[in-house]
Amino acid sequence: MHSNDITKRQESENVDTAPSFETLTPLPVPFRHTRCVTYKDEILICGGYQNNQCYSYHTLKNEYKYICSYPDGFPLRRHCVVKIVSGTHRKDSTLLSFGGYENEKKHAVVLRYKSVWNSDEKKEIGIERANGYNKWLPFTDNDNNPICIGRDESNYEGVRAVIGGSNNHLLFIVYEPRNIDVFDLHTFQFVKQDILPCVSDVYYPCLISKLKSEAAMMQTKKKKTEMVLLCNETGLAIDYSEENNAFQFNKLQLCTTIKTFHAYACVCVDDIVLIFGGFGGFSIGISKDVYKYSIAKNKWMKFDCTLPIQLHECEGVLSEDNTSAYILGGCSIDEGSPIHVKTNVKQWTKEHATEKEKRWITEEEEKIEVEKIKAELEEMEQELDIKKLKRFKEVKIIVEHWNRLLCIKLGWIDEFDIIISRYILMKYFKPVKAISAHPNRINSVKFSPNGTKVISASNDKTIQVWDIESGNKIQTLEGHLHFVNDAKFSPDGNIVVSGSEDKTIRLWDVKSGREIHKLKGHLGGVTCVQFSPDGGMIVSCSKDKTIRLWDAKSGEEREKLVIHSKRIKTVQFSPNGQSIVSSSLDTTIVTRNVKSSERKHQLIGRLLLVLSAQFSPDSQFLVGYSWDQIVRTWDLRSGKVVHKLKGHSDRIKGARYSTDGQTIISYSVDKTIRLWDIKLGLEIQKLKVAPKDYVTKLDVSPDGNAIVSSSKNGKIQLWRSL
């Protein structure tokens, strides 16, 4: 057989075996946060968020039947339902439902279920209910006293639980913010309460028992219960010892692309966890991606195939024979969904991966190794020492991968730390010098073109020029009558342009400190100024909603542009000098051709207030940020968002590209500066500033080896790469 025929056959087989979803009869009513359990060939749907109805779905008939409703006045707020495992082979099944909001009495009810598909007559159904079947009743102890699961002060909204223990008598309960409790179903008492070692709170987590089948649970007599917890940035392997009444927690490696998500559906087959959809917050939105996680191998994969629609708050259920996974309900946009789909589990658990999936796995491994290196270096804090780095092997893998991609032929050097410095730590910065520059807030800080000087503009109405090496002040430029918002060098470094709240733009001779020109025209405070790359023009923007172009030599106004409806925050020439980009409080980013004044792109931040936009060094991309604490990049050719970089915990104050275009640097009121690798879309370093201060502006030296930042307390901080 020819190689082409083999390739075509393999492609055909891959198409035939590719995972897919079968759309089933829609749910009788839309459900969000529904909880489901299996019973033979049925899926029991036990209410949902603000929906008290319960149904049975017959997997062979593809039909629904009403079972009952929760009692009137019984609020379901993302409750939990588990099936109590019995050691006897009965024709019914007992379900336990519990939940409740913070500072209110928790509910706990049970339902003895007998199949509604065996009772065709309403009379028989009524008899069964009279006998205590198919209706929710209070959960009681052996003396028929009502039992409440959970303390009043606990928040059981989004609670998750699994059954375990040597006699399947223990209920393991996980709830926010970071709690895990053990409730004994025989003694009706809590026997253990502990705190999860999470990096963030758990909201609507995925909690899985490693013993998934009911038969396996009935057969086991082990006094150790093993579980897996996945949610947002948390991945934990949890072991509980009955003999010691103690938990053991081990961290699991989460894939980087799922860390921002929660409220996803999940099922577990043997040691494989399948994850469907999820919610990444309002800034990221709802996912329709599908992931596979191998517990035994601690490996992740993201599939090419996705859910039919974006979905979160949905429920995942595995059939009792482990052949099919069902995804029910959830929320696609704002409303609950009646969606119900199923998929063949074997299609997802097979080892085969497409070329795209293989590339994702390779890139994900690279991201994980970079994260581990970053964490280790952060632990060193100020005592950074390359030779103390433990992850030499991982660094070597990354360097080899980069070498292959770049077709670089390098012989390995005996001193491996040189390689680390060049390929990894070139992006790692360390504070080297602090200058008390101004008595008031600094609004702008910028390197000179040769990287030897820094200029700062402040609320004290002055502009200062500093020598980087010595930290000494070279020049003070005085003349503005109000706050100075911005100041930058000319391309040759001999002139400074500044913009102020006094509505003027001023040009200064750096050497003499003399004012050369005063440019008037703006009717509001000037927020941003910059020379064109050739030094012939100046662009400015103002609170008067206008952008103006000026002749740098004569100081005459060339053009006034009215393209925004609200205050303009920033304006910048593209590095090639052909365009300008502006950002405004009207939520738009606009790029415009300098020569023709033609509007080239208009990017709308939708409901987000876009506070800044900066060109990439090749003029093909923009980086911006908003009040949602997300840094975004846009491709100017398509106008689409390329990256959403999430990590800051408070308002972002700025973001810009490094000089090589491979890194984005952002800074925030959360008192951090963060460096992001653009290729990986990953945070590679976090620099911390003084506890009672935050960064107001930041610049990168022309050679990319230094960062200078300014602060609200009038300080200038210099950072250098190792």
Which amino acid is residue 216, in one-letter code?
A
Q: Is residue 156 part of a domain?
A: yes
Average pLDDT over residues 157-168: 93
| pLDDT at position 119 | 62
Query: Is residue 232 over pLDDT 80?
Result: yes
E strand map for 280-331: 286-294, 299-302, 315-318, 324-328
Strands 265-269 and 272-279, by their bridges, are antiparallel
Question: Which pLDDT score, from 0 to 100, does residue 601 have?
Answer: 74
Question: Is the model more confident about 495 or about 679?
Answer: 495
Of the three residues 397, 424, 451, the one that is the final residue of a domain is: 424
Query: In whole angstroms, what separates CA 675 from the centre of its chain?
Result: 16
Count helices and strands (H / E) in the chain: 7, 52
**Is the residue at 351 inside a domain?**
no
Pick the closest to residue 242 from 346, 305, 302, 169 (CA basis). Answer: 169
Picking from 194, 222, 257, the residue at the C-terminal end of a domain is 257
Burial 551-586 (b: 16+ CB within 10 A, else e): ebeebebeeebebbeebbbbbbbbbeeebbbbbbbb
Indicate whether 190 belongs to any domain: yes
Q: Is the pLDDT of residue 468 over 90?
A: yes
In which order are the strands placed within the sheet that holds 189-195?
160-164, 170-175, 179-184, 189-195
Q: Are residues 230 and 373 in the same domain?
A: no
Cβ contact 247:240 at 8 Å? yes
For the whole model, what pTM was predicted? 0.72
Q: Say whether pLDDT at 393 is over 60.
A: no
160 lies in the same domain as 32: yes
Grouping H, G, I as helix, E, B as strand and the rest as coil, residue 204 is coil
Dump the DSSP string for 266-294. Answer: EEEETTEEEEEEEE--TTT-EEEEEEEEE
100 pLDDT more than 60: yes
- Residue 420 pLDDT level (bands cut at 50, 70, 90): very low
* Domain contains 301: no
Q: Are residues 82 and 197 in the same domain?
A: yes
Environment class of 464 (CB within 10 Å of its CB; exposed 0-12, middle 13-18, buried 19+): buried
With a cut of 60, say whether residue 389 has pLDDT above it: no
Reply yes or no on whether the pLDDT at 216 is more than 70: no
Residues 6+ apart with CB under 8 A from 73: none
pLDDT, average across residues 228-255: 93
Domain range enclosing 63:
20-257
Residue 395, domain member (yes or no):
yes
Contact 315, 330 (CB under 8 A): yes
pLDDT interval class at 404 (50, 70, 90): low
Mean pLDDT check: name the lowest of 393-397, 444-448, 518-522, 569-573. 393-397
Tokens 């409703």 — which residue? 69
Q: What CATH number should be reported for the domain holding residue 225?
A: 2.120.10
233 assigned to some structural domain: yes
Do 225 and 108 have their domain in common?
A: yes
Q: Is residue 722 in some structural domain?
A: no
Of 454, 484, 501, 431, residue with least CA distance to 718: 431
- What's the sign of the alpha-carbon dihedral 424, 428, 430, 436? positive
Is residue 236 assigned to a domain?
yes
Percent of the chain past pLDDT 90, that is, above it, reads 60
* pLDDT at position 2: 44
Q: Alpha-carbon distance 385 to 457, whole Å?
A: 35
Higher pLDDT, 222 or 417: 222
160: nearest Cα among 326, 316, 335: 316
Picking from 424, 450, 472, the residue at the C-terminal end of a domain is 424
Same domain, 370 and 241: no
The per-residue pLDDT for 382 is: 55
Average pLDDT score over residue span 693-720: 95
Number of domains composing the chain: 2
If one compares 603 and 191, the residue with the highest pLDDT of the two is: 191
Cα torsion angle, 186, 188, 191, 192, sign: positive
Output the CA–CA distances (angstroms, integers) from residue 716 to 240, 250, 367, 713, in the order listed: 52, 42, 32, 9
Q: Same structural domain for residues 391 and 250?
A: no
